[in-house]
């Protein structure tokens, strides 16, 4: 099985399980590597209620070390963070990047302005929003994140579809500029299986986006976005077939922010 790099810890306040249980699940699934990438702190604090705080970073480092001790050479354990792309965040991302010997950083768009649009707490706001405008804002933001060059992996590309709000017409008008930005700046994308369990009932990203990304030479990782040990490597065989149908024949591995490829 490919590596699973997008996984969480209880420090984000909406995940559960101990590092040993996650490692046991990764080994049982036959993963090539296991990566830990919880939601990064964000300043000023308190920022929201679904991420670790700056003062908890040492605890996060201990969590990673516990996972590595338990793995005991049976599986490589990689260290990452899932960082939010926000206006003016570049200095803070650089600060976070300097605090540990990371193997990779994931960049994600969860916020449009002050709205964490994928948070069920604010689901009612969708009913008051112009879906076309929200999608335009989201993809413009995603392209800026890609242009930044700060991240190794770009997370769940079309997360904006989570609650099944999708504008009419050919969606390539949103995808193509973002594909160009990602290809120009060298990050890889993830095929995130968590979307199959959300209202959209579709992995992130949609097959069409995957096809465009593959045609543009953009690398791929497959991720579970697990928030419990039972979700590690969830639906990876299904995701591999989806990736192959889009034209992919390999995934990317990361160590100390350097890349290797691994065939399916």
* Mean pLDDT for back-to-back runs of 10 residues, the chain (264 residues): 98 98 98 98 97 98 98 98 98 98 98 97 96 98 98 98 98 98 97 98 98 98 98 98 98 98 96
What pLDDT is recorded for position 172? 98
Q: Give whole-number Cα distances, 158 to 17, 109, 217, in Å.
A: 28, 9, 18
Domains of the chain: 10-263 (3.20.20.140)
Q: Give whole-number Cα distances, 236 to 31, 48, 96, in Å.
A: 10, 31, 30
What pLDDT is recorded for position 36? 98
245 vs 216: CA distance, rounded Å: 15
What pLDDT is recorded for position 87? 95
What pLDDT is recorded for position 198? 98
144 vs 130: CA distance, rounded Å: 21
What pLDDT is recorded for position 6? 98
0.95 surpassed by pTM: yes
What pLDDT is recorded for position 78? 98
CA R_g for the chain: 17
pLDDT digits (tens, 9 = 90+) for 138-194: 999 999 999 999 999 999 999 999 999 999 999 999 999 999 999 999 999 999 999
158 vs 2: CA distance, rounded Å: 22
Tokens 């995957």, residue located: 210
């Amino acid at each position: 099985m490919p590596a699973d790099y997008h996984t969480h810890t209880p420090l984000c306040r909406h995940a559960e399980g101990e590092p040993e249980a996650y490692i046991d699940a990764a080994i049982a699934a036959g993963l090539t590597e296991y990566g830990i990438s919880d939601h990064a702190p964000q300043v000023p604090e308190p920022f929201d209620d679904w991420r670790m705080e700056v003062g908890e970073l040492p605890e996060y480092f201990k969590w990673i070390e516990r996972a590595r001790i338990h793995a005991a050479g049976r599986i490589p354990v990689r260290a990452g963070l899932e960082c939010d792309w926000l206006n003016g965040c570049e200095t803070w991302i650089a600060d976070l990047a300097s605090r540990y010997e990371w193997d990779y950083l994931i960049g994600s768009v969860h916020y449009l302005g002050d709205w964490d649009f994928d948070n069920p707490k604010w689901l009612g706001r969708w009913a008051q929003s112009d879906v076309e405008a929200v999608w335009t804002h989201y993809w413009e933001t995603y392209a800026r994140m890609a242009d930044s060059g700060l991240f190794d992996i770009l997370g769940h590309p079309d997360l904006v579809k989570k609650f099944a709000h999708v504008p009419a017409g050919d969606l390539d008008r949103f995808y193509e500029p973002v594909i160009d930005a990602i290809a120009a700046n060298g990050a890889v994308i993830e095929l995130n299986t968590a979307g199959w369990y959300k209202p959209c009932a579709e992995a992130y990203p949609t097959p069409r986006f995957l096809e465009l990304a593959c045609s543009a030479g953009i690398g791929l990782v497959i991720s579970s976005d697990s928030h419990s040990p039972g979700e590690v490597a969830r639906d990876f065989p299904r995701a591999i077939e989806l990736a192959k149908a889009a034209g992919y024949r390999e995934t990317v591995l990361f160590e100390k922010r350097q890349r290797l490829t691994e065939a399916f």
